[in-house]
Amino acid sequence: MKVCKFGGTSLATAKTLELVKDIILSDPERKFVVVSAPGKRFKDDEKVTDLLYRAFDEKVMTGTCKSTMKLIRKRYIEIRDDLKIDFDIEKYLDEVQEGINKSEDADFAASRGEYLSGLLIAAYLGYDFIDAAEIIKFKIDGSYDSEITEDLVAKALKNKEGVVIPGFYGRKPNGKIKTFTRGGSDFTGAIIAGAMKVSIYENWTDVNGVAITDPRIVKNPCFIDVISYEELRELSYMGASVLHPDSVFPVQSANIPINIKNTFEPENPGTLIKNKISREDMQEYPVTGIAGRKSNATINIKKAMMNNELGFARRVLSVLERCGISVEHIPTGIDTMSIVLSEKGFEIVPEKKVIEDIKIAVNPDCIDVAHNLALIAIVGHGMARRKGTAARVFTALAKADVNVRMIDQGSSEINIIVGVEDSDFETSIRAIYDEFFGD
C-alpha cells in the first residue's frame, strides 16, 4: 500500500486534477490520498488558503466573510464544472461560510481549503472521504496527540480500498478545529503512512524532487537521487526548502521511505528519502546538498587559562539560556570561545545586555560581537569516506576570493559548516556547487 499526498499546485485546476487522477489510478497500491488546498494557477494568483485567512479577517472587521467567500466559491465551482462531475459543492461552501462567520479564531477558516478540496476530489475519484477532524487529534493545549491519532487512523482506514483525507488539520477534545503550524499536509500524509505501515509515502509536488541547492542562487541545479533523513534534517535546518523533518517523523520512525515526485513529470524518479544510505545508494559525488542562511552573529570571548576554569562554557551558555537565545555553533580554542547565533536573538534581548551579563558571569579578558555572518552547510554521507572533500570546498572558496570566517564539522562527519560574510553568501554557494557539480 502507498500513501500519496498532493500539494496545492497539483490541485489548482481541473486540468491538473486530471493528471492527479491518472497518477492515482495508474497504481492500485495508491489507496490513501492526502490533499492540500488548491494553490496558485499562475504567478500573481492567490492560494485558496490565503483567501480563507482573508475571509476570517473580513469577518473580524465587518462581521461577515461574504465578500471574500465569493472568490472562494468561484474557485471550487469552476473546478467542479470543468471536471463535469455531479457534486453539490455549493452546500459545503454555504456551511464553510456560516462556520467562518461563527468562528473565534482563524484555524477553522484556514482548514477549509483542504476540507473542500478533499470532498471534491473524493467525488471525482469515486473514493470514500474521511474528514481529518475525525481521525487527527490534538490535545487541549494544541499539541498533536500521536497515540490517539494512530489508533483512530488504523481503525478508520482498515480494509479501505480508496480514501481521500484532507491534510493540514485535526480536532481538539473540545471540538475545535486545530491546524498544524509547519508542513501541515506533509505531516498528515506522514501520519497516515506511519499508522498504516505502508510501503512508501509519495509526496507529489511541482518539481523533480529535492534540488542540490537553492535554484534562486544556482540556475537549474541538479536534483538529489537519494538522501537520508539525517542529511535532510541538516539541509532543512540550514534553510533548504525541503520537507520539514518534524513533519515526516511518523514515517522516519517507522522506517518508511518518502518519494518526492513531480505531478507534471510522473515518469521522473524524483528524490527518495530513507533512513539508511547504502553504498549502492551513494552518488558519484561526495556532497549530497548545499544550503545556508544569512544574518548570524558571533560572540567572541577570550580569557587566559579558560580551559582550566571549570564550568566556564556552562556559565556562558546559561546567560544565553536565560535570555531565551538559541545557539547555532560553538567553535573553541584553549583560551577562546565563539558563540554563533542568529541575529534574531538580539531582538529578544538587546546585544548590550547579553554582553554585560556574560562579562558578569565569566569576567573575560576580551569580548566582542561580529555581525553579518552567513552559514553554509555542505552535507553528504560520502564526505566521510572520501579524502580531500574539505580541501576542495576551501579551494573553491579561495578561487572565488571568499574569506572564510568560521569552520565547523559535525561529529557524524556528514557536514561541514563554513561561515562567510553575508555579502559573499551567493558567491560561495555557487563556487561550492560548481566545484562538485559543475561541468
Q: At 31, list the grid cell.
A: 489507496
- 250 touches 190 (CB < 8 A): yes
Domain 2-206, second-level architecture: 3-Layer(aba) Sandwich (3.40)
CATH class of the domain whose range is 289-437: alpha beta
Nearest to 55 by CA among 122, 139, 111: 111
What are the backbone angles phi and psi of residue 291, rounded to the nearest 5°?
-150, 165
- pLDDT (tens place) for every residue of the chain, 439 residues total: 999 999 999 999 999 999 999 999 999 999 999 999 999 999 999 999 999 999 999 999 999 999 999 999 999 999 999 999 999 999 999 999 999 999 999 999 999 999 999 999 999 999 999 999 999 999 999 999 999 999 999 999 998 989 999 999 999 999 999 999 867 899 999 999 999 999 999 999 999 999 999 999 999 999 999 999 888 888 888 877 777 767 788 998 899 999 999 999 999 999 999 988 766 655 567 899 999 999 999 999 999 999 889 999 999 999 999 999 999 889 888 999 999 999 999 999 999 999 999 999 999 999 999 999 999 999 998 776 778 888 999 999 999 999 999 988 766 678 899 999 999 999 999 999 999 998 7
Q: How far apart are CA 231 and CA 212, in angstroms?
A: 11
pLDDT at 241: 75
Residues of the chain with CATH 3.30.2130.10: 289-437
User: Do 32 and 165 touch, CB atoms closer than 8 A?
Assistant: yes
Cβ pair 68, 58 in contact under 8 A: yes
Whole-prediction pTM: 0.87
Listed in order, the ranges of the chain carrying CATH 3.40.1160.10 are 2-206
Count of residues in the chain: 439
